[in-house]
Amino acid sequence: MNIHVLSLFPEMFTGVFGSSILKKAQEKETVGLSVTDFREYAVNKHAQVDDYPYGGGAGMVLKPEPLFNAVEALSKDGKKPRVILMCPQGERFTQKKAEELAKEEDLLFLCGHYEGYDERIREHLVTDELSIGDFVLTGGELAAMTIIDSVVRLLPGVLGNDDSPILDSFSTGMLEHPHYTRPADFRGMKVPDVLLSGNHAKIEQWRMEQSLKRTFERRPDLLVDIELSKEQKTYLEKLKNGKA
């Protein structure tokens, strides 16, 4: 996979792209990450990327020319990548969307600043508008980093254990079960006996119940759209009735 980012502040990505899982993914050549300052594609001698909005109003608006020129320059063999606009008005980003994007060969993220984008960028250049939540950031860079991290970790071989992303919270439709490690007794706080039993069937049963319980308590909205097994439905009823 190749991921390109267009930003006026490419230095913001240096630490994130050069650390941890994203660094390892590049070393394995599973993903290529690049950041371009789209000011390089401005059309006047002052390298201007923004201008006053027609009709008046506060703030400055990103001009269409630099972003159109940059996307066209980065498109391989004339094939435009999936172009993602980071915007608080966009579709709410989810794990399902991350899984969808992880199947692409080329992604290109547009990170804006100032008051907003010229509407022609939305209408004729981008394929997706994404938001990471109902709040406003100074620019799209931090949001793009978040999405890129969540997508890259889903690529085969990146995490070392390909089962890890399958069992993550939201990937199954529910929140993940609790985890414990050594020591078994820390300051009187003990690991549940079932996890020390060696009985894998009971351990999986416990994990299923804990995952369902945590989701019911913290994010009951997630249970509306997922299909539960008969066993899960029975346990959910116990939770609702306070008998679990």
Numbered ranges of CATH 1.10.1270.20 in the chain: 172-240
CATH code reported for the domain at 172-240: 1.10.1270.20
Q: State the CATH architecture for 2-152.
A: 3-Layer(aba) Sandwich (3.40)
**Is-catalytic flag, 115?**
yes
Phi-psi region of 182 (alpha: psi -120 to 50; beta: other; left: phi over 0): beta
Characterize the bridge pairing of strands 189-190 and 185-186: antiparallel
Residue 77: the pLDDT is: 79
pLDDT per position as a tens digit, 160-197: 777 666 656 676 789 999 999 999 999 999 999 999 99
* 88, 106, 129, 149: the active-site residue: 88
What single string gives the DSSP state of each residue in 112-131? Answer: --SSEE-HHHHHHT-SEEEE
Residue 161: the pLDDT is: 72
Where does residue 7 rank: exposed (0-12), middle (13-18), buried (19+ CB within 10 A)?
A: buried
Cβ–Cβ under 8 Å, residues 34 and 6? no
Known binding residues: 112, 132-137
* 66, 118, 153, 165: the active-site residue: 153
Helix (H, G, I), strand (E, B) or coil at 139: coil
pLDDT per position as a tens digit, 64-123: 999 999 999 999 777 889 999 999 999 999 999 999 999 999 999 999 987 789 999 999
Known binding residues for S-adenosyl-L-methionine: 112, 132-137
**Is-catalytic flag, 153?**
yes
* 115, 129, 149, 176: the active-site residue: 115
Helix (H, G, I), strand (E, B) or coil at 110: strand
Residue 169: the pLDDT is: 60
Numbered ranges of CATH 3.40.1280.10 in the chain: 2-152
**Is-catalytic flag, 92?**
no
From the list 237, 229, 243, 236, the residue with the least C-alpha distance to 212 is 236
